[in-house]
Chains A and B, each alone.
Chain A
Amino acid sequence: MARPPSDEDFADLVHAAWPSLYRTAYLLLGDAAEAEDLTQTALAKTYASWGRVREPAAARGYARTVLVNTATSWFRRRSWHNELPTETLPERPAPEVGNDDRPVLLAALARLAPRQRAVVVLRFYDDLSVAETARALGITEGTVKSQTSVALDRLRAVLGDSFLQPSDQGASHD
């Protein structure tokens, strides 16, 4: 691209990327206001680096990386109100996920450590590959795999085995 991207280009990015970034933020944070703030923050940080952008099409991925890094920073604050002890898992699985999936899923995600939650959301909601997730989080592919494994174990403990069974294999499959 010959010229640096303009403010109009950035506005286009905001309109195009906002819905998916917001949904990712919501799944990471579980709160609408926090998700909106996180998405705004991530896009504002992206704008602060806008002069260095050479390919606006790649800026969407950059904004998502900023969003995840910012969320991880928020999680690290001790005052983060969603912080829950990940060791405290219920002895019995939560009720089966039904029509009103959102609270059950968000409660389960909230029990994951921040990086595990980010790995789950990026891989299984944003459909990123292991390599893409590693790049977005700035960690190794091995860490993505190990964090995914731990996260799925925790989700299985909270939501029940049947929750993670493929639909064509039945609930009895191990």
Chain B
Amino acid sequence: MTEPLTRLLHRVGEDLDAPPPPATAVLERGRGLRRRRTAVLSAGVSVAVVAVLTGAMLLPGGDTDRAVDPVAPSGPTLDGVTFAVGNQVYLDGGEKVVEIDDRAVKSLYYSSAGVLVRHGNNTASDGGGPQRFTLIRPDGTLSPVSVETEENAHGVDPDQPYLAWTEVVESGVEVVVHDVDTDTEVARLPVQGRFTWSPPPVALDGDTVYVGGRPGNDPALLAVDWRTGEVAESDRTAYFPEPRKERTIEYDGRPAVVDLASGEVLHTASSRDSFLTLSPDGRLVAESGFDERAFEDLDATVVDLDSGAEFGMPGSQVGWSTSGQPFVVGADEVTVCDGTSGDCLTEELDLGRGQPQVQLGGRTYES
């Protein structure tokens, strides 16, 4: 049946004149890639040490180009790609799997102390019962966190070891900040006022806990400095606070990414029905749409908010790696893309039969 196609492809292929193999150019590009990979892998080491190590590696090859660009894009990598199925947490795209001592993972937050796992009796946030927490440290060890909440939407800043949430008390609402590295409460601050939800949801960005949203036509966010106790009403509006590194999402008509300080609109969704997700570092946004005629999710588009460059993802639900790279998980593969170049890497994955429910890292799954 396909014999003519095979013959035709071979005939066309054999007629092609391949240019001479540029072995030297390939070797140079390969060495460049290896240098960048070395620089990225050594990110925790001082620049001086990286330079020494890299130089030593290159000596046998006789390469005289010792320049190391520590900020050069490294290309897509599964490092830091984190997701969960049931109570199993897949680290580095599944290279390591950690089991949480609970029934199901609800969400995976990134913190400076490691991956903070919110878990409980099921994957649900609304009406999902008690919410418990475990810290997966960078070396893979587990540290239980002595926090249990219910019906709370929490905030975690990836550059800090803190978990923030609110509690309803007789006098009103309190903002709580807990150090998950040392498992100690570091702040508890009263906040006055009425809120749409009880307890009100929060987001953590630097020293600021954003509490939302105060009722009204323009539901306001409160900006609480948890170190000084200063409370201010933010100019931004939202029922649900989503600030990430000075950027947030607002839903006035079509969803849009807005600069927290200036109010500048950085990206507007293509449709009122689109769903936006900011990367933990606020650099990228993933936009997912829905085809009402086909009644199915559309593959997401990732936009670099600084350059405006965009590329497509092979799936609608986008998670973020610890380094802020977008990824999607299918039934039998995981794809991570470089947020700068749009290059993607797909690896085979065996998550069992069918399409399991996957909780993607870097998303809050709060509602």
Which positions in A face B, CB cutoff 8 Å? Answer: 7, 10-11, 14-15, 18-19, 22-24, 26-27, 32, 36, 40-41, 43-48, 50, 69-70, 72-74, 76-78, 97, 101-102, 105-106, 120-121, 124-125, 127, 138-140, 143, 152, 155, 163-167
Contacts and interface: CB of A to CB of B under 8 A. Distances in A.
Interface string B55-66: 000000100000
A40 B25 contact: yes
A42 B1 CA distance: 32
A97 B365 CA distance: 54
Nearest to A46: B30
A138 B346 contact: yes
Contacts of B23: 11, 14-15
A140 B343 contact: no
Contact of A27 (B3, B9, B25): B9
B37 interface: yes
B2 A164 contact: yes
Contacts of B34: 47-48, 50
Given A14-B23, A22-B19, A44 B29 contact: yes
A69 B346 contact: yes
B311 interface: yes
B18 interface: yes
Nearest to A99: B11
Given A43-B30, A44-B29, A163 B5 contact: yes
A76 B342 contact: yes
Contacts of A22: 16, 18-19
B249 to A, nearest CB: 22
A22 B342 CA distance: 23
17 contacts: A7-B61, A18-B18, A22-B16, A32-B19, A45-B75, A47-B30, A50-B30, A50-B34, A69-B344, A76-B313, A76-B314, A77-B312, A97-B8, A105-B9, A125-B9, A138-B333, A140-B332
Chain A to chain B: the 8 pairs with minimum beta-carbon distance, closest first? A47-B30, A18-B21, A44-B29, A48-B33, A125-B9, A73-B344, A44-B30, A19-B18
Contact of A44 (B4, B7, B33): B33
Interface string B268-311: 00000000000000000000000000000000010000000011
Interface of B: 1-13, 15-16, 18-19, 21-23, 25-27, 29-34, 37, 61, 75-76, 301, 310-314, 332-333, 337, 342-348
Nearest to B334: A138
A143 to B, nearest CB: 8
A105 B13 CA distance: 11
Contacts of B348: 138-139
Contact of B1 (A26, A78, A164): A164
Given A138-B348, A155-B5, A27 B13 contact: yes
B29 to A, nearest CB: 4
A164 B26 contact: no
A76 B346 contact: no
B4 A27 contact: no
Contacts of A76: 311-314, 337, 342, 344
A136 to B, nearest CB: 11
A143 B346 CA distance: 15
A23 B311 contact: no
A127 B7 CA distance: 11
A167 B3 contact: yes
A47 B33 contact: yes
Interface hub of B16, B19, B30 (most chain A Cβ within 10 A): B30
A69 B1 CA distance: 28
Given A10-B30, A72-B346, A73-B342, 17 more contacts: A11-B23, A14-B21, A19-B21, A22-B18, A40-B25, A44-B29, A44-B33, A45-B30, A47-B26, A48-B30, A48-B34, A73-B76, A73-B337, A102-B12, A106-B12, A139-B348, A143-B332
A106 B4 CA distance: 15
